Amino acid sequence: MRVARLHGVGDVRLSDEPMPTPGPGETMVRVSAVGICGSDLHWYGQGGIGDATLDRPLVAGHEFAGVTADGRRVAVDPAVPCNTCDMCLAGHPNLCRHLRFAGHGAEDGGLRECVAWPERCLVPLPDRLSAAAGALLEPLGVAIHAVDLGHVRAGATVGVFGCGPIGLLVLQVARAAGASDLWVSEPLPHRFTAAQAWGAKQWSPGREVDVAFECAGVAGALDDALAAARPGGRVVLVGIPDDDRTVFTASVARRKGLTLLLSRRMKHTYPRALRLVQSGQVDVEGLVTHRFPLEQSPAAFEAAQRREGLKVIVEP
């Protein structure tokens, strides 16, 4: 089968490899669509993410969907929790102490023709949802989890700082949760235009919100989120900084008595994500601006790194 592996910073190579062999409880999935995520770009651009570094050629890609050997269309949950540690038993599989995650560290991801993956992590896709929509249920789950942490309520005012795909999904989920006013800060015109299409207005200094979401992973976005949050408000950090450090002015957060929350992937969100997409409350297809075949994976990463559009999809 054909595989796209990341061998080093900016170095994606195509190769032929043996088909995977499903282990106990695993199912073979022929991959149909893979989304390139901001975290994939950390692997591509910095050779790692946080304290995890590229120590072997890695198959990236954790947003993916495909077809099982027996013909079922599925979205693939990239997270495989152990289900036995204290965090799993407490209902927090996203904090599992022994988590396996596709496209991270020792676990190869979806940028290949076939994957053997645990059956318990396969989510059936309705016929009218495309493979790309199935792949984007994963980032939608990230957005749902972030909005859950923010405790967005009906009539709340919300600010989103950074309108890449995750920020745009947070925006839509917050709207679906009942937020009455949506404000965004985004320097790239095409991304701001997309946010406007989903009901957002331009945030300006001096405007306060009940909940602020930092979705860019850069210091300026966090500074703006802290400035925008009203006294007693909540700030959810979703973005991942390049240098693995988050720095902010403590006096601003302290004097306002802000609650800061760090969002870690997602948990128990696939059923809700499916309902939001099927009901039309969240548009994931509208995020897709670029499509590439697997053989053009290097070009797909380059396009995503340039932030040319919104979401880049690779279709093996």
Write the pLDDT tens digit of every residue in 119-130: 999 999 999 999
> Residues 47-77, buried b or exposed e (16+ Cβ, 10 A)?
bbbeeeebeeebbbbbbbbbbbeeeebbbbb
Average pLDDT, the chain: 97
**Residue 213: pLDDT band by 50, 70, 90 thresholds?**
very high
pLDDT of residue 2: 98
Closest CA to 172 of 127, 142, 206: 142
Angle, CA 170 vertex, CA 291 and CA 106 arms, to 5°: 60
Burial of 28 (0-12, 13-18, 19+ CB in 10 A): middle
**What SS3 class is residue 12?**
strand
Q: Fill in the amino acid letter for 195.
A: A
pLDDT of residue 88: 98
254: how many CB neighbours lie within 10 A of its CB?
9
pLDDT digits over 239-283, tens only? 999 889 999 999 999 999 999 999 999 999 999 999 999 999 999
Q: Indicate if the pLDDT at residue 42 is higher than 90.
A: yes
- Asked if residue 208 lies in contact with residue 230, where contact means CB atoms within 8 angstroms, the answer is yes
Domains along the chain? 2-136+284-315 (3.90.180.10), 141-262 (3.40.50.720)
Burial of 159 (0-12, 13-18, 19+ CB in 10 A): buried
282: how many CB neighbours lie within 10 A of its CB?
26
In whole angstroms, give the CA distance from residue 33 to residue 20. 18
In whole angstroms, give the CA distance from residue 90 to residue 120. 19
pLDDT digits over 69-120, tens only? 999 999 999 999 999 999 999 999 999 999 999 999 899 999 999 999 999 9
**Residue 18: pLDDT band by 50, 70, 90 thresholds?**
very high
pLDDT of residue 38: 93
pLDDT of residue 50: 87
pLDDT digits over 164-191, tens only? 999 999 999 999 999 999 999 999 999 9
**What SS3 class is residue 306?**
coil
Q: Region 143-158: what's the mean pLDDT?
A: 98
pLDDT of residue 61: 98
- Give how far the C-alpha of residue 73 lies from the chain's centroid of Cα atoms, to the nearest Å: 21
The position carrying tokens 């760090």 is 262
The position carrying tokens 């993410």 is 49
